[in-house]
Structures are given as structure tokens and as C-alpha cells.
Chains A and B, each alone.
Chain A
Amino acid sequence: MNNIENMIGAKALMLAMEKEGVKQVFGLPGGANLPMYDELYKSNIRHILARHEQSAAHMADGFGRVSRKPGVCFATSGPGATNIVTGLATAHADSSPMIAVTGQVPVAMIGRDAFQESDIIGMSNPCVKYSFQPRNAAEIPEVVKKGFYIAESGRPGPVLFDIPKDVQQNEAEMIFPDVVKIRGYHPWTDPAIPEIERAIQILLSAEKPIILAGGGVIISSAFAELQAIAEMLMIPVVTTFKGKGAFPENHPLSLGPIGMHGHAEANKLMIEADCVLAIGTRFSDRSVGTFEEFEKRLKIIHMDVDPAEIGKNQTAQVAVVGDVRVSLRIMLKKLTQEVVKKSDYNKWLKHVNEVKDYWRENLKIHPGEMSAAKILRKLRETIPNETILTTEVGQHQMWASLFFDVIQPGTFFSSTGLGTMGWGFPAAIGAKVAKPDVPVIDIAGDGSFNMTENSLATSVLEDIPVIVFLINNYSLGMVAQWQRTFYDRRMIGVDQQNCPDYVKLAESYGAQGIRAQSLDELENAIKVGLKSDVATVIDIPIDPEEDVLPFVAPGTPLKDMILPS
């Protein structure tokens, strides 16, 4: 139905977004987006006020990853727009669907260094999937339709609408299209059946197969398909860090994440495998160490929705381009027709289990009561399986990868590609908006929390209670670890001391602050947090010298993993 109506651009923006199912936007107003805010006021869309545009973008990102529908953030022109660049880059690096809408100076002022003019289209180009700058109000409905389609289809990503103020204000006859065609955009490819058949042959003839599940499995929700194939063929599953929780980590076939801070057993077995079914992963250096080492031994079957990922970092023997859920479904169907269940007792699997058992029993962990492993296992025991976890960036993030088992697939989210400190807390707020009935917990470090802790105001005032599980080592711990390991303990720029007091900080925002100095206090604090209707910051002091181990040093192969001594 294409009813034509006369209205201003800003109103058309709201209507078009409502048609896309948008219920809320995260943002912060300014001069150049006031017309949009005025129409937001009149619309049914909720506004959630952030305290920094970067946080607004991370909130939209968190919302998008959890709901798999683009989250929307608003910022004004100039500094408002530049403040969202980190948010765009973070979403882009992790293929998260997002819409950012910035105000811009009026069309006639563009290019004249007007007050609060920034060339955000130019600045953001490498970190958006696409951007639009409508020059006439009448373009807005189509721009919105196209933008949402681009953001959520194929390999998702952030899309920017940079809307000049006069384009927001001008009246035009608006036509709201139901479908749009974009000539140069073909987000979905049907997977080639012969390639899937070849993949099956290679997998079945392999002696030591392994499945490497990446973030693509989570983005396309291919959990059931992945599990069915792993179980049918009895193939052990490792994940990338981005793919953490693509497969239940308490499953007998699960080995956990590989990579720089992967599980010892996962890294050990990854390098022994003779064939890998890699699903929705870009073979990032953080996952596979040095590429050449990785490539030599392995037959690689690579499934990905993005054809440009095939052969970018890793050469594959077989490549299946298409949505990984669709590809896995076809594979599963063919397997069901062709093979009987593989014996669940074979030499490889026996070996896999031995290695896994060995490391689960013998990996040395920090002896203190409040060691990272113990507090994270306590967290796991105390919270329900459907709890959504986000993380910040640093040691706590890698400890979460090592010691927190994700049981319900698709409940763990982190800034894995860009590694953005300060992402986890606002993203948790966005996640909670997407799933208000599920507890949401940000596993944080003190340094990262400092970057976006003012989102406590948003959490409290907008009634979006989440828990910040603050693993507090009073320092920029990950950097401190590198200085201890690679720079002969020349510690610089890492000491944060006991500043601020996180309990008082939380309380000053009207949130709840609890310090936990024993595992019992911690359990209690988590339980209080789960029941609380305001945000809860649990400050958990730990030994500042605790390292994350195992550790694969950058630029080295997985086999050179450093283990705790």
C-alpha cells in the first residue's frame, strides 16, 4: 500500500522507522537533530537518553545483537556524530545490525565549515556497511527502507543516515515503499549443493575432524543445526571467541574457544586436527595465531555468508557461500539420507576426551579464594542459563572466555573484533531493552567500566536494571600483564588505584553498590542483583597480579601457547 501523504522529513523518518518495527531509540539531542526530536516527542517511539553518544551507539548495538533487528541511535551533527564513530566501528567489526541517525547542517551549508559541521559520511566510510545523506525530504522513506534492509540482511552491519537539518524540516509528498530493490546488493547466495557434498565427503573421510564455530553461527542462530551435525558425526567443537556459546559449553563434545586466550585443550586439539569445518568465521589472527602455521596441516571447509571472507585470511579446500544456517540444514539433510550415525567410539574422540579431561583437571589456576576462575564459576552456578552476558575488554573478558561456560547458545556477547573498552555496560542496557524478562550481566574490568559508567544514569532513570560484575584489579590489567610478560615489569600507565569507590559511585546514581570480598558475599550479591529493580554494581576486588593463562603471544602459532607454571 503506497498512500501518499504530505509531511516534513523528520515525521517521515519516525513513520518509516515505526513501519520497520522500531520501538525505541537510544540517543542524545543537539541543534542539528531537534526537528527529529520534536517528531520523536509526537511519535510512539520511546527515547532512551544516553549520557554520551558512544554509549547510545553501544546500546543500539547490544539491542541489535540480542534481538537480531537493528538497534537505532540518534546523535546531533559535529561532535555528536564524531562521538558515535567508535560505536559504528565496533558494530562493523562484529557484524552487528545497527542504524545510526545523525543530524547535519543544512544542505546549503555543507562544505563551508559551518558550526558543528563534520563530514561524518567521510569519516565513517570504512566502518559502516552503508551510509545515506538524503538531500530532499522526499527521499527519506526509501532511505529508511533500504537502510534497514541493508543493516539486517546478509552479513549484518551498521548503516548511517546523515540528515541535514533542512531536509528534516522540509515538507514533501511522502511515498512509503513496501519493498525496495538495490541493484548492486545481493546479500544472500544459495549455497552450492555440490560444494556441500564435497564437504561431506572430506568430513567423513577425515580421521581427526573438528568443527570451528564462529560468530556467524550466533548471528544466524544456527545452534540446533550445528549441534545436530556435531552429534550425528561425533565431531568435537571448538569456537572462536566471537563464536563462544554457539555450542553449549557443557556439552560432552564442547572444547571451548581457541585462540590467544583459548582453552588449553581447544588449542592443543585444534593443531592436531586434520580437517576443520569452519562455520561463519574470518580466521582472525586472535583465533588462529600465525596464518601460515595454521594452513599447512589442515583440510579446511569454510562456510560463510560473505563471499569476500573466503580466501581472505585462509585458503579453503571447499567453500560454501551462503547463510550458514541454510548451508548446515542442507548438510544435515544430506547426512541423514546418506550416513548411519558414526560410531561414538573412535580413536580420535578417545584422544580428544583424554586431552580435555587432562586439562580440565590439571590447568593451574590462581590459588586465592577470589581468583578469576572461582568468581566466574560462582557466577555461573548462581545465575539462570538464559542470562545474557556482555563483557568489557581486558583480562576479565578473557577470564570469562576461559572460566564462564555458556550453556544456552546465543547468550554471550562481547566486542571481539574491535575490542572496545566501555562497550559491555551500555550494550547490556541495550540487551535488557531487547529482552526485559531475562537477567543481563556485564562482566567488567574497572578500566573499561570507567569509560561508560555514566550509563548508570540511563539504567536507573530509564528503569533498565542490569548487573555490572566488576572484576576489580585496580588497574588496566591486560596491559599490565603484557608489561609484566614482554616488557620486564616496566609498569607504566596501568595503575588505577582504588579510585573511584564503585559502591559509592553506584549509590550516587541511585543504583545499588555491593562489595564482595568472599565467595559467599559474592553469591549473595549476585542473588540480590538478580532480584533488584535498579542496576547493581558488584565490586569484586581481586589480586592485581593475576594473569590470564594460557596465552598465545601475538604473531606466534597456537602450538607455542604459554601455560601457567
Chain B
Amino acid sequence: MLVILSILVENKPGILWKITHLFRAKNFNIDTISVGVTADPEFSRITICTHGDEKQIRQIVKQLDKMIDTVEVKQLDEHKSVYRELILFKIKINTPSDSMEINKLANSYGAKVHDVKKDSMMVELTAAPDQIKAFEDLARPFGIIETARTGIAALQREGA
């Protein structure tokens, strides 16, 4: 099971390290992680995407909760939250028509196109993970040269 953990922590040095250390010590894996200070500079929010069975996830949530530097640990429900990740794709252009098609594809996903060269172009997509996956599948036939992604940022919807 894939889960997204939203962890509000004290904005102090060394806390991200302690959290990643905990994941290592307890034998958990981090799929993606994103970190940033919140509107209140006393706190940072760490968003971690991880996977495991239900028992494992319950355990990691409890271990995170037990940490003194974590103020709040939430396991986000996919249906009640907004998730976004930014990903940059460098895609191969093999024939002149490719460039048009990639442009079309990018448009249909609301992605931006940058740095169009003769042999490649860069596409920036901000979307939910399943959309990113769908885009990636459609772009793969052209040839994906490189990607870079930010990790997921997520917040629970109000009243959810």
C-alpha cells in the first residue's frame, strides 16, 4: 500500500536527518520526500511517500509520532487530499512531427514546454502522481532522456 505522510516538525537543524534515520533504523523505505518551511517559520512540513502493509504503516506513523520533534503526523487519505508533484522530462525528438505531438501531449496535461532543441525538448508537469505516471507512459515511446522530480507536496482538504 502506498501512503503519503504529512509531518509537521519544529523548524530546527537536524530534524530531517532524524526522520530519515528513523526510516533507515526501522527498515522502511522512502519513495519520495519533500521538505519546506511553512507559513509559520517555526515549523517545516515534510511530505513523505512510502509503502508497506497496513501494520508496517501503522508502526511507522507511531514511531514518527513518538519523536519529540514532530508536532503532528498525518497519514493523508488520497480522496480527501490534494497531492501534487513537479516533474521535468527531457524528451527525445526523433522526427520533426515528434515535436508537434509532444507539444500536443503537454498541452493536454497542462504541462509547460521549455528548451526546445533540435533533438530534445523539456516538459514541466505539475500533477498528481497517477497523472504523472500516465504522462510518462505516453511520453516513453518518444524516448525519455532524463527526468527530475520534486517529491510530493500534499495537504488535506478543509473539512475532509
Could you tell me which residues of chain B, from 38 to 89, have a CB within 8 Å of some CB in chain A? Answer: 55, 58-59, 62-63, 65-71
Question: Which residues of the other chain, A, contact B58 by a CB distance below 8 angstroms?
Answer: 311
Complex CA distance for A125 and B25, rounded to whole angstroms: 11
Complex CA distance for A183 and B40, rounded to whole angstroms: 15
In the bound complex, do residue A125 and residue B21 qualify as a contact, i.e. CB atoms below 8 Å apart? yes
In the bound complex, do residue B68 and residue A184 qualify as a contact, i.e. CB atoms below 8 Å apart? yes
Contact of B62 among A126, A184, A308 (CB under 8 A): A308
**In the complex where A125-B21, A126-B25 touch, is A307 in contact with B66 (Cβ < 8 A)?**
yes
Nearest chain A residue, comparing its CB with the CB of B43 = A183
A227 CB to nearest B CB, Å: 30
> Scoring A residues 230 to 274 as 1 if CB is less than 8 Å from chain B, else 0, what string do you get?
000000000000000000000000000000000000000000000
Is the C-beta of A451 less than 8 angstroms from some C-beta in chain B? Answer: no
Question: Which residues of the other chain, B, contact A310 by a CB distance below 8 angstroms?
Answer: 62
Nearest chain A residue, comparing its CB with the CB of B21 = A125
In the bound complex, do residue B65 and residue A308 qualify as a contact, i.e. CB atoms below 8 Å apart? yes
Is the C-beta of A1 less than 8 angstroms from some C-beta in chain B? Answer: no
Nearest chain B residue, comparing its CB with the CB of A307 = B62
**In the complex where A121-B14, A126-B21 touch, is A184 in contact with B70 (Cβ < 8 A)?**
yes
Question: Which residues of the other chain, A, contact B112 by a CB distance below 8 angstroms?
Answer: none
In the bound complex, do residue B69 and residue A184 qualify as a contact, i.e. CB atoms below 8 Å apart? yes
Is the C-beta of A340 less than 8 angstroms from some C-beta in chain B? Answer: no
Contact of A311 among B18, B59, B67, B70 (CB under 8 A): B59
Q: Decide if the interface of chain B is mainly helix, strand, loop or mixed.
A: helix
> Scoring A residues 159 to 183 as 1 if CB is less than 8 Å from chain B, else 0, what string do you get?
0000000000000000000000011
Is the C-beta of B124 less than 8 angstroms from some C-beta in chain A? Answer: no
Could you tell me which residues of chain A, from 278 to 324, have a CB within 8 Å of some CB in chain B? Answer: 306-308, 310-312, 315
In the bound complex, do residue B68 and residue A185 qualify as a contact, i.e. CB atoms below 8 Å apart? yes
Complex CA distance for A185 and B69, rounded to whole angstroms: 8
Question: Which residues of the other chain, A, contact B98 by a CB distance below 8 angstroms?
Answer: none
**In the complex where A184-B10, A184-B71 touch, is A311 in contact with B66 (Cβ < 8 A)?**
no
Complex CA distance for A182 and B69, rounded to whole angstroms: 9
Question: Which residues of the other chain, B, contact A126 by a CB distance below 8 angstroms?
Answer: 21, 25
A145 CB to nearest B CB, Å: 14
Complex CA distance for A184 and B14, rounded to whole angstroms: 15
Is the C-beta of A130 less than 8 angstroms from some C-beta in chain B? Answer: yes
In the bound complex, do residue B63 and residue A308 qualify as a contact, i.e. CB atoms below 8 Å apart? yes
A305 CB to nearest B CB, Å: 11
Is the C-beta of A150 less than 8 angstroms from some C-beta in chain B? Answer: yes
In the bound complex, do residue A183 and residue B10 qualify as a contact, i.e. CB atoms below 8 Å apart? yes
Nearest chain A residue, comparing its CB with the CB of B18 = A125
A394 CB to nearest B CB, Å: 27
Question: Which residues of the other chain, A, contact B10 by a CB distance below 8 angstroms?
Answer: 183-184
**In the complex where A121-B14, A307-B62 touch, is A184 in contact with B67 (Cβ < 8 A)?**
yes
Question: Which residues of the other chain, B, contact A150 by a CB distance below 8 angstroms?
Answer: 68
Question: Which residues of the other chain, A, contact B69 by a CB distance below 8 angstroms?
Answer: 184
A156 CB to nearest B CB, Å: 14
In the bound complex, do residue B68 and residue A182 qualify as a contact, i.e. CB atoms below 8 Å apart? yes
Which residue of B21, B62, B67, B71 has the most chain A CB atoms within 10 A of its CB atom? B62
In the bound complex, do residue A306 and residue B66 qualify as a contact, i.e. CB atoms below 8 Å apart? yes
Contact of A130 among B62, B63, B68, B71 (CB under 8 A): B68
Nearest chain B residue, comparing its CB with the CB of A313 = B59
Q: A126-B25, A130-B68, A311-B58 are known contacts; what are 17 more A-B pairs with Cβ within 8 Å?
A: A125-B18, A129-B68, A150-B68, A183-B10, A184-B9, A184-B68, A184-B69, A184-B70, A185-B68, A306-B66, A307-B66, A308-B59, A310-B62, A311-B55, A311-B59, A312-B59, A315-B55
Ordered nearest first, which 4 A-B pairs have the shortest CB separation? Answer: A308-B62, A184-B71, A185-B68, A308-B66
Q: Which residues of B does A touch, CB under 8 Å?
A: 9-10, 14, 18, 21, 25, 55, 58-59, 62-63, 65-71
User: What are 21 of the A-B contact pairs (CB < 8 Å)?
Assistant: A125-B18, A126-B21, A126-B25, A129-B68, A183-B10, A183-B71, A184-B69, A184-B70, A184-B71, A185-B68, A306-B66, A307-B62, A307-B65, A308-B59, A308-B66, A310-B62, A311-B55, A311-B58, A311-B59, A312-B62, A315-B55
